[in-house]
């Protein structure tokens, strides 16, 4: 952490001065960038990669987990706009039960970038956060590093969308990480795509085995939507093939701990894999762990490719299209904010006067080994809970908000709200809150949560006005 005087003493040159600075252009950050641009204030998104989308595009997390009640999506606003654009372009499909969001990651990159530019926002790629500038308990900007060297960006408001709470941690915000009982974080994923697959033959084969999802075509997609998986001892019909592959030396025993595959809209002849899963050395803030995950992931991917070619009809001539350039991190730092969302809040379907997003995705904790994983813990049928704005407001630092999977939540609650549509909603809420704070000349901490909620409703969020009879806490 630096003060403005220290920045001057170190001769760190100023690069830019903005009203709203979004740090990280991932799932939450890209949407925060869109929403910030729409406030009319000068906004900038900085991103370490050369594209937006984060885990959605860089880590190839292409299926959006369902967040809906009785087929009605719970998130509206910019999340809905993005999905509608991709659906109209046939680059995203509508999965079973109306879930929208099995998308082409390349077209999501394009869509997010276009929407930020259309909003009037600005982008700066290939740029890393090096430090933060804080004075009088308020963040003043960040120090960055890129090919041009070190410089700093002055900002009236900063939104930490790094996923790992990098800005908040450097500014001194307290945080937690990992399972409170073991200190261990959830496993990583290093995903990949396989090309030149005869999807019709593969679908027919999977249907002959049973226990798979196959939709020949679906709304918004010209590609058959296929899904199957394999986990030892869970009754998946691919298990005999995995046993054979282990016996024949094609796979290792650990390769059957978690295997999942599905197709994507807009990418005929391709399969996307939600594996391999890396369960050791899984601190997403440790570059050695991230490096080891990439190396091990590519080694395991080679075995999966060999397995598909040898045992799955339709995959005989398949090839590796790409492996994810970004490790999929489910959970790392969780900042401590004005409110800490709990498992009781989630499973109790609690509502809040300052609720900024609705969620009914179950608590989904990936454990290092299958015998430790309890499975999904669902909310009562037909119910949902809300995420309060206070979960985005960190303790101890003014003019800073946090959005995305590093929100203020317990380990269990974070395992529910970390899915993409919620992260998008948090990004939008944080940017709108920054705009309101600038309008009123107050800190984001002082923004009235009910006013923010109504503003989000006016912008298309699917939230119930607080004037209506809703249980609140």
Mean pLDDT of 379-387: 96
User: What sign does the CA torsion over 355, 361, 363, 364 have?
Assistant: negative
57: left (phi over 0), alpha (psi -120 to 50) or beta: alpha
Task: Indicate the Cα dihedral angle 233, 187, 276, 238, nearest 10°.
Answer: 20
Cα 28 from Cα 141, distance rounded (Å): 19
CATH code, residues 4-180+332-458: 3.50.50.60
- Quickly state the pLDDT bin for 470 (edges 50, 70, 90): very low
Q: What is the pLDDT of residue 223?
A: 83
Q: What is the pLDDT of residue 374?
A: 55
The CA-based dihedral angle spanning residues 259, 265, 270, 275, taken in that order and rounded to the nearest 10 degrees: -20
pLDDT at 220 over 60: no
pLDDT of residue 276: 97
Q: What is the mean pLDDT of the chain?
A: 94
Domain spans of the chain? Answer: 4-180+332-458, 188-328
- For the stretch 292-341, pLDDT in tens is 999 999 999 999 999 999 999 999 999 999 999 999 999 999 999 999 99
Q: What percent of the chain has pLDDT over 90?
A: 87
pLDDT for 200-217, tens place per residue? 999 999 999 988 888 766
Q: pLDDT for 11-25, tens place per residue?
A: 999 999 999 999 999
- Is the pLDDT confidence value at 88 over 70? yes
Lowest mean pLDDT among 127-136, 227-236, 386-395, 459-468: 459-468
């Amino acid at each position: 952490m630096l003060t403005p005087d220290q920045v001057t003493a170190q001769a760190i040159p100023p690069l830019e001065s903005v009203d709203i600075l979004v740090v990280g252009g991932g799932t939450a950050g890209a949407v925060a960038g869109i929403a910030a641009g729409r406030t009319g204030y000068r906004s900038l998104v900085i991103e370490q990669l050369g594209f937006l989308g984060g885990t959605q595009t860089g880590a190839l997390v292409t299926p959006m987990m369902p967040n809906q009640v009785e087929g009605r999506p719970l998130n509206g606003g910019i999340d809905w706009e993005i999905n509608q654009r991709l659906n109209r372009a046939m680059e995203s499909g509508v999965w079973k039960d109306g879930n929208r969001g099995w998308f082409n990651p390349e077209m999501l990159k394009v869509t997010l970038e276009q929407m930020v530019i259309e909003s009037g926002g600005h982008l700066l790629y290939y740029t890393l956060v090096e430090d933060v500038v804080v004075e009088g308990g308020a963040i003043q900007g960040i120090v960055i590093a890129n090919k041009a060297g070190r410089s700093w960006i002055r900002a009236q408001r900063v939104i930490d969308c790094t996923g790992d709470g990098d800005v908040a941690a450097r500014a001194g915000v307290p945080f937690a990480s990992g399972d409170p009982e073991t200190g261990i974080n959830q496993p990583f994923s290093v995903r990949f795509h396989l090309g030149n697959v005869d999807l019709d033959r593969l679908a027919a084969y999977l249907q002959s085995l049973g226990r798979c999802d196959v939709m020949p075509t679906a709304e918004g997609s010209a590609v058959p939507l296929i899904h199957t998986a394999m986990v030892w001892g869970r009754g998946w019909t691919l298990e005999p093939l995995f046993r054979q592959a282990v016996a024949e030396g094609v796979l290792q025993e650990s390769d059957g701990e978690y295997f999942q595959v599905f197709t994507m809209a807009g990418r005929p002849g391709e399969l996307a894999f939600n594996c391999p899963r890396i369960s050791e050395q899984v601190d997403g803030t440790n570059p050695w762990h991230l490096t080891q995950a990439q190396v091990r992931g590519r080694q395991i991917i080679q075995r999966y490719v060999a397995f598909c070619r040898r045992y799955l009809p339709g995959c005989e001539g398949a090839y590796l299209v790409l492996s994810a350039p970004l490790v999929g991190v489910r959970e790392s730092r969780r900042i401590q904010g004005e409110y800490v969302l709990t498992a009781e809040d989630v499973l109790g379907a609690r509502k809040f006067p300052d609720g900024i997003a609705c969620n009914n995705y179950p608590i989904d904790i990936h454990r290092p080994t299958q015998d430790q994983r309890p499975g999904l813990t669902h909310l009562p049928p037909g119910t949902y809970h809300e995420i309060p704005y206070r979960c985005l407001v960190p303790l101890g630092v003014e003019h800073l908000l946090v959005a995305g999977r590093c929100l203020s939540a317990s380990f269990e609650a974070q395992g529910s709200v970390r899915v993409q549509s919620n992260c998008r909603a948090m990004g939008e809420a944080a940017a709108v809150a920054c705009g309101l704070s600038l309008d009123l000349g107050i800190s984001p901490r002082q923004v009235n949560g009910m006013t923010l909620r109504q503003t989000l409703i006016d912008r298309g969020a699917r939230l119930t006005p607080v004037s209506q009879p809703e249980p609140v806490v």
